[in-house]
Amino acid sequence: MNAHSRKPTNLSLDSVLLSEAKALKVNLSRAAEEGVRVAVAKAKAEQWKTENAAALKSSNAYVERHGLPLEGFRQF
């Protein structure tokens, strides 16, 4: 766990899911934090792909035309 401080936040959750979580003694704060962490990582990956789409397209086109730069040295 990191040393970042926590901030109280209001959330709206599905009532059935909330009841199940409480019955199972799920730590809602930790579960929500982990879910948000996963969503942020996914959004950052998508943002990176969008921001670098032109470079990726250019690199892929180069490899399609010329092959991999060190392909002649591959041993597999």
Q: What is the pLDDT of residue 12?
A: 95
In a domain, 76, yes or no: no
Q: What is the pLDDT of residue 22?
A: 96
In a domain, 36, yes or no: yes
Q: What is the pLDDT of residue 71?
A: 76
Q: What is the pLDDT of residue 72?
A: 73
Residue 36 lies in domain: 28-67
Q: What is the pLDDT of residue 2?
A: 60
In a domain, 74, yes or no: no
Q: What is the pLDDT of residue 48?
A: 96
Low-confidence spans in the chain with pLDDT less than 70: 1-3
Number of compact structural domains in the chain:
1
d(CA 76, CA 69): 15
Q: What is the pLDDT of residue 4?
A: 81
In a domain, 13, yes or no: no
Q: How far is CA 33 from CA 54, 72, 75, in A?
A: 33, 48, 45
